[in-house]
Amino acid sequence: MSTSTATEGTFTQKIQRFYDESSRLWERTWGEHMHHGYYGISGRHRKNRRQAQIDLIEELLRWSQVSAADTILDVGCGIGGSTLYLADKYQAKAVGITLSPVQAERASERAAEQGIALHAFEDFADADASAVQFQVTDALATPFPDNSFDFIWSMESGEHMPDKQGFLQECYRQLKPGGTFLMATWCHREVDNLAGPLTNDEKLHLDRLYQLYHLPYVISLGDYGDIAANVGFTHLAMADWSQQVEFFWQDVVNSALDPKVIAGIFQAGTETIRGTAAIALMTTGFSRGLIRYGLLRGSK
C-alpha cells in the first residue's frame, strides 16, 4: 500500500476545488450521475451513457440484495444523483455528504426542482418519506450519531479517502445493526497472485493518476476486504466489475470530443483541465489490468 506525503488537509482542499470547478460542466455533459456506467456482464452492451449510469445503480442494488431502506447515507454524493434516486426508490430519508459546497448547493436545488422535501437530519424523525438533506462534511469525521443509517452507499468515493481504515470505521460506526454498507470504488490489481507486486512502471502510472485526480492512493479489493473484516463488518461479499464498466471511459472520450464540451473544459479552469488529462491514464489503466473496479458489501 502506498501513501502520499501530502497532508489530508491539502487533499481535502484540492478535491473540493476540483469538484467545485468541474461539477457544473459534468452536469451539462452527463447529467446528475457522476460515476461509471454498466455495460452488461460482458461489457459489450452499448447503450445511452446516462442509462448506463442508472443501470449501474440498479445492478449494484441487485448484487447487494438491498430491497428496502428507511434511512440512507450517500458518502460522496456529488450533485445528489444517487441520493435522490435512492430516496425515491425506497421512499427513504437520505443524507448526501460531499466536500464541495458547490455540489451540496446544486444537490439541494435539484431536490427542490423535483419536489423532494429538504430537512435537517435532526428533523428526520418527523419528516415525510423521501426527505433529503445535503451538507458539506468530511466522510472521515461526520456529525451523525452511532447507528444512524440502515443503508450506507459509497459510489466511487473510497479512492478519495486518505485513510481507508478510518473511512470504513466511520461507516461502520454510523450503520445500524443489521444494516448494509455498499461500496463501489477504484482499486489497483491484486498483488498476492502470480502477477506479484506492482511494478515500478505501474506505480508511476498510479502516481500520475493520483496527481491529476487528487487521489491519496488506491488499494486492492482484497485489501479493502481485510480492512472491512478487521473493522467488524460481517456477511462480507466482494466482486470485480472492471469488465462491466470499462467502456465508460470510451464514452467519456467520445463526449469530450464535442466542441462545446472542449470549450467548457477550458472555461471551467485548471483543475478541470488537469482532470481531463487523466482520462487517458484511466483508459490505459483498465486496458492493462492495473485499474480495477471493486465492489464490497458488508453488514453490522
- Alpha-carbon torsion, ordered 159, 160, 165, 169, to 10 deg: -110
> β-strands 149-155, 234-240: how paired?
unpaired
Residue 257 above 70 pLDDT?
no
User: Does this model's pTM top 0.85?
Assistant: yes
Per residue in 42-99, pLDDT tens?
A: 999 999 889 999 999 999 999 999 999 999 999 999 999 999 999 999 999 999 999 9
| Cα-based angle 153, 39, 76 (whole degrees, multiple of 5) | 25
Q: Indicate the range of 19-23, 201-205, 259-263 predicted with least confidence.
A: 259-263
Find how far residue 198's CA is from the centre of its chain. 24
Q: What is the pLDDT of residue 264?
A: 59
CB atoms < 10 A from the CB of 269, how many? 15
Q: What is the pLDDT of residue 23?
A: 81
Predicted confidence band at 7 (pLDDT cuts at 50, 70, 90)?
Answer: very low
**CB neighbour list of residue 76: distance below 8 Å, 6 or more residues apart:** 97, 98, 139, 154, 155, 156, 157, 160
Residue 194 above 80 pLDDT?
yes
Residue 191 above 70 pLDDT?
yes
Per residue in 99-157, pLDDT tens?
A: 999 999 999 999 999 999 888 888 887 887 889 999 999 999 999 999 999 999 999 99
Per residue in 284-300, pLDDT tens?
A: 999 999 999 999 999 99
Residue type, 214: H
Residue 33 above 70 pLDDT?
yes
Domain boundaries, given as residue ranges, for the chain: 8-299
Cα 110 to Cα 104: distance, rounded to the nearest angstrom: 10
Per residue in 156-183, pLDDT tens?
A: 999 999 999 999 999 999 999 999 999 9
Q: Which CATH class name applies to 8-299?
A: alpha beta
Residue 41 above 50 pLDDT?
yes
